[in-house]
Structure 1
Amino acid sequence: MSPLHWNVDPELLHIGGFALRWYGLLFAAAFLVGYEIMRRVFRAEGKPEADLDALLLYMMLGTVIGARLGHTLIYAPDYYLAHPWKILAVWEGGLASHGGAVGIFIALWWYARKRPDQPWLWLLDRLSIPTALGGAFIRLGNLFNSEILGHPASVPWAVVFERVDSLPRHPVMVYEALAYLAIFILLRVLYRRRLAATPPGMLLGTFLLTVFGARFVLEFFKEEQADWVAGSLTVGQWLSVPMVMAGLILLLRARRHA
């Protein structure tokens, strides 16, 4: 069976000096769908919907700044420390999920300081649901960009990314997108069972354990993204380990609370 060939233009629309890329469209869609999910959460639990605009802004800033700094300072520090102005060039690509997670944690802590009715862990729990779905959207954006490639493979579903080379490869970004979609469904089901009575930390713990557990496993099929090596594991795997451990701790804590 011949492999599937992928050669889709990453630009959906180009007018003059303006280019609308699939990645940007999917990135924006992740926030818009997430906004709607959180609007339903706020309505179900009696929280002020007027706070959603501020919450969206904090989430966007935390995600973009954290993910960009994570990519530039963890995956390619030599290049970006030699060209620091390139750190701001988000449009050139390069966002790291681990940095994005840390950025979200910090941004939501800042947001929750003046909102005692929306504690930090309460927010992180519920935002885990749209964040998992957003991860699926972003990985589809990586597919359109022909980036985050898998190792060469001979499996029947291998894909040749013609914009990169002629080798059949694992479509690892599709693997991740499907994993994150399944995690989104799981979190949604867990939340709807108890709504406001959901034990604190249960959703966030499940998110960290499953998302970064999947990331750890899928790194074995993925080309190394970092400019440096970290022993027998990839940089992404080393960064996933503390996230998985934090998820386990939160789940044990939530179980005791329940």
Structure 2
Amino acid sequence: MLTVLSSIQWGIDPELFHIGGFGLRYYTLCFMLAFFLSYVILLSIFKREGKSQELLDKLTIYVFIGTVLGARLGHCLFYEFDYYKDHLLEMILPIRTVNGTLTFTGYQGLASHGGAIGIIVALILYCRKTKVNFWWIADRLVIVAALSGALIRTGNFFNSEIIGKPSQLPWSVVFTHVDNIPRHPAQLYESMGYLVIFIILFNLYKKSKFQKPAFLFGFFMVTVFGLRFLMEFVKENQESFESAMTLNMGQILSIPFIAIGFYFMFKSNNASGIAQKK
């Protein structure tokens, strides 16, 4: 039998503070910190390689919109399609029909796979507008994307969401806002994994032999979504329909990203396969 006494009790209020009708959540803070640190790191990379800050400012706008829209639509289409197919407007607006009444809920439900697709689409549009080479941007953006993933999963931990399966390990966590069952701190597993991937990517970027176009992008896809695939084995399913599936939705969606990553890692070794222009 699982014992609560040997586990870490986690019941922190998800809101850092609340004033009137406004409350700042730790998750929001982590999300904002992810974009701030990404901007600072990319600014140093842009300056190092002779790119203007104006280009980075435009990129930030495109990526922010692509991330939010992609993650939101990804959740609605991949995880709650049965509901949102009849409530299309609620995919975009932060509202939901509750007992026949429209209620403000905020964007409760963001999917990382949808966010990844949204970012790729945003990059394509950005590169068409600015004439910057897609792979030059993609290979550098994935460095900070891994760091952002680490911070967002930390935010999920503060929210007591995306919880792990029951565990008897000494570092298991009881999310008291959810139940009294000791569980894997799956959010922290993922966060630490993404942080390691960020460090590896940043160091690979500094080495000329890994500067082949699309290599870092491919490496990111393989490692990040490979980690995501493995972590799903210690996480509770996000939606009830996943219980009847051999692989859950997160794993199924990760497979094509991993395959794409391997493809570009190998293709990057062909000097004539992917041209890079700065």
The alignment's TM-score, normalised by the length of structure 2, stands at 0.88
Q: Which of structure 1's runs of 4+ aligned residues deviate more than 3 A? A: 82-86
- State the one-letter code of the partner of 1:114: K
* Structure 2 stretches lacking a partner, 5+ long: 95-104, 273-278
- State the one-letter code of the partner of 1:246: I
Q: Which moved more, 1:172-181 or 1:42-51?
A: 42-51
Task: Tell me the residue number matched to 2:159.
Answer: 145
Equivalent of 1:91 in 81, 86, 106: 106
* Structure 1 stretches lacking a partner, 5+ long: none
Q: Which has the higher helix share?
A: 1
Larger-Rg structure = 2
Residue 92 (structure 1) shift: 4.2
Match of 2:207, SS state, is: helix
Match of 2:129, SS state, is: coil
The equivalences for 1:22-101 within 5 A come to 22-87=26-91, 88-89=93-94, 91-101=106-116
Match of 1:257, SS state, is: coil
Residue 111 (structure 1) shift: 0.5
Do 2:215 and 2:268's aligned partners in 1 also have CA atoms closer than 8 Å? Answer: yes
Task: Tell me the residue number matched to 2:98.
Answer: none
Whether 1:219 aligns to 2:232 is yes
Equivalent of 1:103 in 83, 101, 118: 118
Structure 1: how far apart are the matches of 2:130 and 2:90? 36
Task: Tell me the residue number matched to 1:206.
Answer: 219
- 1:102-122 per-residue CA deviation (whole Å, 9 max, x = no partner) reads 000000100000322x21121
Equivalent of 1:189 in 203, 211, 224: 203
- 1:26-75 per-residue CA deviation (whole Å, 9 max, x = no partner) reads 10110111011111111111111111111100010000000000011111
- Aligned-residue CA RMSD in angstroms? 1.6
Residue 227 (structure 1) shift: 4.3
Structure 1: how far apart are the matches of 2:54 and 2:68? 23
**What is the total number of aligned residue pairs between the two structures?**
256
